[in-house]
Structure 1
C-alpha cells in the first residue's frame, strides 16, 4: 500500500467520525475534573490517616 493511498483512506475514515460538540466536551471535562479531585482528596486523607496510624504504632 502506498503512503498516498493510506493518507486518503485516513481522511475518508475521519469524515465518518461523529465529533462531540462544545457542550459535550465541556460536560465530559467537568466530569473528569470532579472525579480527579474526588480521588485526589480521598487518597490524600487515606494517606494522612495511614501515616498517623503507623506513626502511632511505631511510637509504642
Structure 2
C-alpha cells in the first residue's frame, strides 16, 4: 500500500516545524527519532520541500 500515492507532495517549512513540535511535545519522542522520521518523509521520491525564492 502506498501511503502518499504517486502524486507530488509539497512540504512547507511550517509543516516541518509543526511536525517536529507535535512529535516532541505531544508524543514525547526524542530528537533523534524526530529527525529520523522527518528525513524519511523528506526522502520519499514524490515529496518536495518548500524552497526560498532567493535560492
For the pair shown, which has the larger CA radius of gyration, 1 or 2? 1
RCO (CA 8 Å, sep 6+): is it higher in 1 or 2?
A: 2
- Fold conserved between structures, TM > 0.5: no
Pick the TM interval, shorter chain.
Answer: 0.3 to 0.5
Higher strand share: 2
Q: TM-score, normalised by structure 2?
A: 0.33
Q: TM-score, normalised by structure 1?
A: 0.31
